[in-house]
Structure 1
Amino acid sequence: MKNGRLTGKIVLITGAGSGIGKSTALLFAREGAEVIVNDVNETSGNETVGEIVEAGGAAAFAHADLTNAEMVEKMVERLMDNYGRIDVLFNNAGVSNVGALHEVELEQWDRIMNVNVKGVFLPSKYVLPGMMARKSGNIINMSSCIAEIGLARRAAYSATKGAVLALTKAMQVDYAQYGIRVNALLPGTIMTPFVEDYLRTSYDDPEAAIASLKTRQLSGDIGRPEDVAQAALFLASDESKFMMGSPLYIDGGVVFGKNA
């Protein structure tokens, strides 16, 4: 799109092979961005790229395990060589798990911390110097409304998303002087492939489980990846230029309201 909301922007989206990341990549491309699709899964990442290109957009795949510093650093170096800059970094990649604290295995704890927190730290660490040199940049971090509420058996996931929200605010203080904005998305329950799989494998009656989930949202419904993608588009665009260090809720009314 020649006159899209992101025309001329070079955007790196992590975890863009499926779910929210994929929906965001497709939307950003329709709005004129040149999208760099990162995912640890090459097949799904290239599928996202293929859909963008088939629709007339511009995209490329960048493989990296976001928990591996060397891989992330080399990925960013290649992108800077090819594109000269990254205007928007969307730290979207993440994993979840289920369990109260005493139920979480050490390997599970380490994995979710590595992917959800280190996976924000490393891309930001290597992208930021280029943004600082240009005195321009935009970083969006994927937190969750669970960072601000208690939810049963989500101990490790909650810890990571609280860390991402706190990190977002700290980053904004440090990098505002370089013209860099850093904001966070706080979705509620979104019907991603992970949630679909969790409902299918954890409940005898997935439809009843979905109905129960809907009752904790004022909207009476579960969100879709496209709902979060639209919020990410707002943060990535110049329309949100006065938002700095802000949490943006896309939760159907979970945090600030409760049905009687």
Structure 2
Amino acid sequence: MFQLTGKTAVITGGGSGIGKAIAKIFARQEAQVAIIELNKANGESTIQEITNAGGKASLYTCDVSKQSEVKQVFDQIYADLGKVNILVNSAGVSHIGNLEKTTEADFDRLFAVNVKGVYNCLLYGVEKMKLTGGGAIVNLASIAGIIGIPDRFAYSMSKGAVLSMTLSVARDYIDQNIRCNCISPGRVHTPFVDDFLKKNYPGQEQEMFQKLSKTQPIGRMGTPDEMAALVLYLCSDEAGFVTGSDYNIDGGFLRIK
């Protein structure tokens, strides 16, 4: 089950965190993986891990907030690999701060990457999928886009937009055999968390890590691999009846606090 043999999967932000985990599990399930990543060194590291394990992957460097770059990259992927069957929009940035602690520059950065970046990749991903009979899209939203979380004003805004774009694409392209879903993770242990703790709580990293972990009823943070497993299902043929859905994957944060 959940094999992706013969499919080409485009994954943005595949150089680290959740995007990297998705790229690796897709390659393990025999997809041809195309990683779109701004950080070339991180992207190359993921490619190396995949190829060392016997998978197939290629790297395309791009700033997803720049539409001309995204168009060029998707054209190149299509020329190189002949199709786009799967698109996962994982690239994103975060910001901590309420309304008054969010500058215009902060807001513009979050919008450019998390909203416009997803729009750009959806635009050209859908274009390529229509050429080969459809496909599956998964966007990474967040529980922050569904409920109020302290000090996440701009981040919540951007993830709410991702959820709305997911529903619109699912509705507008259902007749083109394109499915579009999103996942809404809770707190996931990625390098971002470690960097945040190191910067804001020097000397108290372990204590704060435990405190943040316990905000989820399950008592811990999620792992990138757990997020990737859900994305794999949603992009597989086994999820052929699933579209326009948002999957909370949050250790019980929303429902059983």
Q: Match for residue 224 of structure 1?
A: 223
> Of residues 75, 89, 97 in structure 2, which corresponds to 1:99?
97
Which residue pairs with 1:142 in the alignment? 140
Contact 1:4 1:32 in 2 (8 A): no
1:131 is aligned with what amino acid?
M
**Residues 180 and 244, structure 2, Cα contact 8 Å, conserved in 1:** yes
| SS of structure 1 residue aligned to 2:173 | helix
3-state SS in 1 of match to 2:35: strand
SS for the counterpart of 1:152 is coil
Cα deviation digits, residues 62-112 of structure 1 (max 9, x gap): 111001111100001111111111000000000001001111111111001
Is 1:233 the counterpart of 2:232? The answer is yes
- The CA deviation string for residues 25-62 of structure 1, in whole angstroms up to 9 with x for no partner, is 11110111110111001111011111111110000001
What is the one-letter code of the residue matched to 1:206? E
- Kindly provide the amino acid, as one letter, of the partner of residue 21 in structure 1: G
1:221 Cα shift?
0.7
Match of 1:189 in 2: 187
Shift of 1:248: 1.0
**TM-score under structure 1 normalisation?**
0.96
Matched residue, 1:83:
81
For the residue of structure 2 that corresponds to 1:256, the secondary structure is: coil
- Counterpart secondary structure, 1:86: coil
Find the residue that maps to 1:60 and give its secondary structure: strand
* TM-superposed deviation, 1:184: 0.2
Q: Counterpart of 2:209 in structure 1: which amino acid?
A: I
Work out which of the residue numbers 3, 14, 20 in structure 1 matches 2:12: 14
Please state if 1:171 is matched with 2:179. no
Distance 1:4 1:249, change over 3 A: closer
**Does structure 1 retain, via aligned residues, the 8 Å contact 2:2–2:238?**
no
User: 2:243 — aligned with what?
Assistant: 244
Query: How far apart are the structure 1 equivalents of 2:256 and 2:214?
Result: 12
Paired residues of 1:188 and 1:223 also in contact (CA < 8 A): yes
Tell me the amino acid that sits aligned with residue 197 of structure 2: L
Q: Say which of 149, 152, 159 aligns to 1:151.
A: 149
Gaps of 5+ in 1: none
The correspondence of residues 26-41 of structure 1 with structure 2, limited to 5 A, is: 26-41=24-39
Which range moves more in the overlay, 201-210 or 230-239? 201-210
Aligned residue pairs: how many? 256
**Which residue identity lines up with residue 9 of structure 1 in the other structure?**
K
Q: Retained in 1: the 8 A contact 2:2–2:232? A: no
Q: Determine the structure 2 residue equivalent to 1:255.
A: 254
Of 12, 23, 26, the match for 1:25? 23
Q: Identity, % of aligned pairs?
A: 38
Q: Helix, strand or coil for the counterpart of 2:180?
A: strand
Asked if the contact 2:36/2:62 (under 8 Å) is kept, the reply is yes
Flag as ranges the 4+ runs of structure 1 deviating above 3 A: none
CA distance in 1, matches of 2:133, 2:167: 19
Letter in 1 for 2:196: Y
C-alpha distance in 2 between matches for 1:4 and 1:60: 21
Which residue in the other structure is 2:64 paired with? 66
Counterpart CA distance in 1 for 2:145 and 2:238 is: 26
Q: Which amino acid aligns with 2:179?
A: R
Amino acid corresponding to residue 19 of structure 1 in structure 2: G
Deviates more, 1:109-118 or 1:213-222: 213-222
Tell me the TM-score normalised to structure 2 length.
0.97
Q: Secondary structure at the match of 1:211?
A: helix
Change (3 A) 1:227 1:4: closer
